[in-house]
Amino acid sequence: MNIPSKIFKSYDIRGIYPQEINEQFAVPITRSIYKLISEQLDTTKALTIAVGRDMRLSSPAIFAAVSKTLVELGAKVIDLGIVSTPTLYYAVFKNRYDGGIQITASHNPGEYNGIKIVRISPTGLVKIGQSTGMNDIRDGSINGVDLSATNNGSIKTKEGVVKDEVQNALGIAGNPKIQEFKIVADAANAVGGLYIEELFKHIPGELIRMNFELDGTFPAHQADPLQPENLRDLQKKVLEEKADLGLAPDGDGDRLFFIDEKGQIIQPSLITSLVAKELLSERKGETILFDIRYILTPKKIVEEYGGKCEITKVGHAFITEKMHETGAIFAGESSAHYFFRDTGNAESQLPMILFVLKVMSREGKPLSEIIEGLKRSHESGETNFRVKNALEIIDALKEKYSDADINTLDGIAVSYKDWRFSVRTSNTEPLLRLNIEHVGKEDLENKKQELLAEIKKHAVFEDLPK
């Protein structure tokens, strides 16, 4: 059995079905996962593992293989059915299961599938990634692990998890009084629609559904809201319906983009700032985290409302890890992952929707106006370069901007008084990523052109930048 090592990523396991990941490969992978969780929990007892899956065509076969293997190893399997990744996280955290396995390839196209893994800890959830055991899972999957089958396990179906998740989210948001808004949601035929559907059974308002039918072939568009072309239909629908808000979850529901009433995409750092302000208004002194790409606006908001902030590496597993370390109440990532201490330091998009609706209800203003009042800087958006000499480019930029404050937490982040930029290599693709922010909008464009010219001067391209 030749399991390709490249499917073991920084945050999860992911590959093309059936060449790179399939039900046969799932057996040794599951055995390796079981051994790792047992060792990390320092226990010889039978584990209780929640297993969920998305709507991909290959997910039922992989789910069956994972569940059968766990039962053979003596595990108590909690079958959550078709759920979002945040729903799996919530179930593991709330019920204190030993671990959780979600079968999903997130926002990737339909030919992909994968596995996300978490385990419980005293302070919440630990995501299994590169720094928390993924390499051990890779080695055990490829080389085999020493585990005896007992066939003493069991499978139990658990109903109603999404309903419980909604009630928990309402509590996190302070059980707010929500006005009746018109909201358009594009679920991209994926599982994020499940928690949005349930939420609107518990709050007022009109929900206009786009692509809510589960379909692992993604007939409408790829379930990746980070790509602007996948948001265009939603933006158009918000304007056509004269809606107050648009929602766009990704393929496994752990990312969520917001569209304002003008059909504009709201930058995730501004949504982070909105929620940080709400939390700190009632709980001053708490710590808020955000990743190194865009920090000027959220940092100023946190400081203005009496909070503390820390900067993290890019990547949801790294951010969850940092939340454990700092005890942060909330974290926001520039790719629209949002994390709460009250959900085990893992993503939960339901409280995000509720906080936005809470502020809109209280202030009686359109979302675009609320967001404009939070803005303390302007962002370039990410520019990606497919280059052969990423580290040489980073070194050249360090020398060029050596008079700045330079942070090497994740690539380099170069900061001046009124502007900053970050350049880092991707964790998932062979790309160099550039992000710039400036307090002045016109100055931002000037700095962008300056940096593009500097990178191109040193770059050896594999192909044109995209």
Dihedral angle sign, alpha carbons of residues 455, 229, 266, 173: negative
191 close to 214: Cβ distance less than 8 angstroms? yes
**Cα separations (Å) of 304 from 34, 215, 281, 360?**
46, 45, 10, 21
Query: 258 pairs with which residues across the strands?
Result: 247
Work out the angle at residue 278's Cα, subtended by the Cα atoms of residues 276 and 279, and round it to the nearest 5 degrees.
65
Active-site residue, 38 included: no
What letter represents residue 370's amino acid? I
For residues 421 and 443, what is the distance between their CA atoms, to the nearest angstrom?
Answer: 13
DSSP string, 368-388: HHHHHHH--SEE---EEE-BS
For residues 204 and 222, what is the distance between their CA atoms, to the nearest angstrom?
Answer: 30
Work out the angle at residue 376's Cα, subtended by the Cα atoms of residues 370 and 379, and round it to the nearest 5 degrees.
100
329 close to 288: Cβ distance less than 8 angstroms? yes
- Residue of 59, 106, 335, 422 marked catalytic: 106
Query: 150 pairs with which residues across the strands?
Result: none
**Cα separations (Å) of 179 from 138, 227, 360, 365?**
49, 31, 8, 12
Nearest in space to 102 (alpha carbons), one of 134, 41, 59: 59
Tokens describing residue 348: 């939960």
Active site residues: 106
